[in-house]
């Protein structure tokens, strides 16, 4: 696996816009993806959270549930879970040995092999259902060889435009590629630029369309999430995903559950309540407005495109704190000013390169912020790594301060691996509950 090109680390050179290899891999494995039911989720933002919530609800409803998402933060095995448990290391080794002759012959990408492994392991584990997140796009994504119970498209934004197209309509066309003949599709967000694309694709495939926003709404009430169906209470659950951008995802999940109920699935409201409240512990969801520490507040968020940046910045700007800090890293495809300019000018920004080849280097970070003159009126420092940022914070933060760690999935991953231990925060498992004060200040 270590010799395979991984888009997560190296970017475009690892991307293969073709289904040939995944079909050959699954053919060699006896078409494992056909041995259980599936849900297929695509979108620019929110698809990971939506997948985790759906998997958690299905688990609570008594279904043995597989979940495959990407990228991972700390451990590759985060990508493949059954009822929340990571794929065992011996199963990874077994699969690699099994598939090695085919890999040597066709030279697939890392993602193609990872998806084949997920499909294979779900059959081995005898799951009832697997929730499958697309990697990128949809039409030619390696996951797109399944015929799901329902297809879900969360939203469309400008991300990976070098592969998917430079307009919302073009990107929507790629995402709409997961819509299968006769299979219901849930669309999570109304966007004038993309609605026609989904409607036309669904008409062509004779697929029922459920527009989540027409039927469901969600709002936070104290520590709860309340979901309403046409204005009437549908479910109320403890809220463990407080990011404002999750409101749209909650409505999308609700619409998807109703589609499944309409197909005969037994998913009682109590399972929905427990599933939403237990999504972090049930599935290991991490990095989505995750409060890793309470006093001082240390918040992780993997939002990494303009739409994601906007939502994260708005919520952090509204967060009550005496002083605010942001520990940020960016890949070469992203511009630092896209996020930094959205943060309050008083936020003290710590920029650092990340431990992946795609990362902007120290010099590139400096050039990126200087070009837009973002240094004016801001406290901004360039550091060598997430660990260096943590060392600075360790001697600077007070209990009333707040820190946002983000800009990229990789900065969150680096901080979990190297920054959190410096600050004395235990993160042995993904989905760790926040601690009140673990920092030796």
pLDDT digit string, tens, across residues 181-228: 999 999 998 778 888 888 999 999 999 999 999 999 999 998 999 999
pLDDT value of position 161: 47
Higher pLDDT, 150 or 305: 150
Q: Residue 164's pLDDT band (boundaries 50, 70, 90)?
A: low
Look-up: residue for tokens 């969600």?
218
Q: Residue 428's pLDDT band (boundaries 50, 70, 90)?
A: low
Total structural domains within the chain:
2
pLDDT digits (tens, 9 = 90+) for 292-316: 999 999 999 998 888 888 889 999 9
Residues 211 and 303 in one domain: no
CA distance 349 to 326: 5
> Is the confidence at residue 250, as pLDDT, over 60?
yes
> Is the confidence at residue 10, as pLDDT, over 50?
no
Angle at 240 between CA 235 and CA 242, to 5 degrees: 95
Q: What percent of the chain has pLDDT over 90?
A: 71
pLDDT value of position 441: 36
Residues 214 and 334 in one domain: no
pLDDT digits (tens, 9 = 90+) for 36-73: 999 999 988 889 999 999 999 999 999 999 999 998 99
Q: Residue 439's pLDDT band (boundaries 50, 70, 90)?
A: very low
Residues 247 and 154 in one domain: yes
Residues 251 and 299 in one domain: no
Note whether residue 428 is domain-resident. no
User: What is the token pair recorded at 411?
Assistant: 């900065």
pLDDT value of position 1: 53
Neighbours of 84 (CB within 10 A): 21
User: What is the token pair recorded at 227?
Assistant: 């979901």
Last residue of a domain, one of 283, 310, 345: 283
Note whether residue 109 is domain-resident. yes
> Is the confidence at residue 409, as pLDDT, over 70?
yes
Q: Residue 260's pLDDT band (boundaries 50, 70, 90)?
A: very high
pLDDT digits (tens, 9 = 90+) for 340-383: 999 999 999 999 999 999 899 988 888 777 666 666 668 889 99
Query: Residue 65, CB half-sphere, CA atoms under 13 Å: how many?
Result: 22
Neighbours of 219 (CB within 10 A): 11
Higher pLDDT, 434 or 246: 246
CATH code of the domain covering residue 310: 3.90.190.20
Q: Residue 430's pLDDT band (boundaries 50, 70, 90)?
A: very low
Residues 159 and 297 in one domain: no
pLDDT value of position 3: 54
> Is the confidence at residue 101, as pLDDT, over 50?
yes
Residues 29 and 99 in one domain: yes
Note whether residue 363 is domain-resident. yes
Residues 265 and 336 in one domain: no
Per the CB < 8 A criterion, the answer to whether 351 and 381 are in contact is yes
Give the pairing type, strands 85-86 and 80-82: antiparallel
Look-up: residue for tokens 């991972």?
72
Note whether residue 175 is domain-resident. yes
pLDDT value of position 365: 86
- Residue 129's φ and ψ, nearest 5 degrees, are -150, 150
CA distance 23 to 294: 47
User: What is the token pair recorded at 120?
Assistant: 């294979």
> Is the confidence at residue 385, as pLDDT, over 90?
yes
CA distance 152 to 41: 5
Out of 150-154, 271-275, 348-352, 375-379, which region has the weakest mean confidence (pLDDT)? 375-379
pLDDT value of position 429: 44
> Is the confidence at residue 437, as pLDDT, over 60?
no
Q: Mean pLDDT over residues 101-126, rounded?
A: 96
Residues 260 and 314 in one domain: no
Residues 242 and 261 in one domain: yes
CATH code of the domain covering residue 195: 3.40.1190.10
Note whether residue 27 is domain-resident. yes
Residues 239 and 317 in one domain: no
Residues 275 and 298 in one domain: no
Angle at 169 between CA 165 and CA 174, to 5 degrees: 60
pLDDT value of position 166: 56
Average pLDDT over all residues of the chain: 89
Note whether residue 429 is domain-resident. no
pLDDT digits (tens, 9 = 90+) for 128-141: 999 999 987 788 89
Q: In what order do the strands lie in the sheet with 224-229?
A: 216-221, 224-229, 232-238
Range of the domain at 333: 290-422
Residues 267 and 393 in one domain: no
């Amino acid at each position: 696996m270590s010799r395979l090109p991984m888009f997560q680390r190296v970017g475009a050179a690892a991307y293969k816009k073709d289904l040939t290899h995944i079909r050959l891999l699954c053919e060699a494995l006896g078409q494992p993806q056909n041995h259980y039911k599936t849900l297929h989720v695509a979108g620019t933002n929110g698809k990971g959270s939506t997948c985790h919530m759906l998997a958690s609800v299905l688990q609570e409803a008594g279904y043995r549930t597989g979940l495959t998402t990407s990228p991972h933060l700390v451990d590759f095995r985060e990508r493949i879970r059954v009822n929340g448990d990571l794929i065992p290391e011996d199963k990874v080794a077994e699969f690699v040995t099994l598939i090695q002759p085919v890999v040597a012959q066709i030279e697939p990408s890392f993602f193609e092999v990872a998806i084949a492994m997920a499909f294979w392991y779900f059959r081995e584990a005898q799951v009832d259902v697997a929730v499958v997140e697309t990697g990128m796009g949809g039409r030619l994504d390696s996951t797109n060889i399944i015929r799901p119970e329902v297809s879900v498209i969360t939203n469309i934004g400008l991300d990976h435009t070098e592969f998917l197209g430079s307009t919302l309509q073009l990107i929507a066309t790629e995402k709409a590629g997961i819509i299968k003949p006769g299979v219901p599709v849930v669309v999570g967000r109304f966007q004038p630029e993309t609605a026609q694309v989904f409607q036309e694709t669904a008409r062509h495939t004779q697929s029922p369309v459920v527009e989540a926003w027409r039927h469901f709404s969600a709002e936070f009430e104290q520590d709860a999430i309340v979901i309403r169906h046409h204005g009437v209470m549908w479910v109320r659950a403890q809220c463990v995903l407080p990011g404002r951008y999750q409101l749209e995802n909650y409505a999308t999940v609700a619409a998807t559950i109703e589609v499944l109920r309409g197909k005969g699935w037994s998913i009682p409201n109590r399972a929905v309540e427990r599933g939403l409240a237990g999504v972090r512990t049930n599935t290991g969801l991490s990095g989505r407005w995750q409060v890793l520490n309470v006093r001082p507040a240390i918040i992780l968020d993997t939002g990494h495109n303009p739409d994601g940046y906007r939502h994260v910045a708005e919520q952090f700007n509204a967060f009550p704190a005496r002083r605010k800090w942001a520990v940020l890293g960016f890949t070469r495809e992203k511009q630092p000013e896209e996020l930094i300019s959205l943060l309050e000018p008083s936020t003290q920004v710590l920029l650092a390169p990340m431990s992946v080849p795609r990362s902007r280097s120290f010099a590139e970070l400096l050039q990126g912020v200087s070009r837009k003159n973002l240094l004016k009126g801001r406290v901004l420092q360039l550091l060598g790594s997430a660990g260096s940022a943590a060392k600075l914070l360790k001697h600077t933060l007070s209990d009333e301060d707040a820190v946002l760690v983000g800009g990229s999935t990789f900065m969150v991953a680096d901080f979990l691996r190297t920054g959190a231990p410096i600050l004395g925060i235990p993160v042995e498992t993904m989905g760790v509950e926040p601690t009140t004060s673990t920092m030796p200040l």
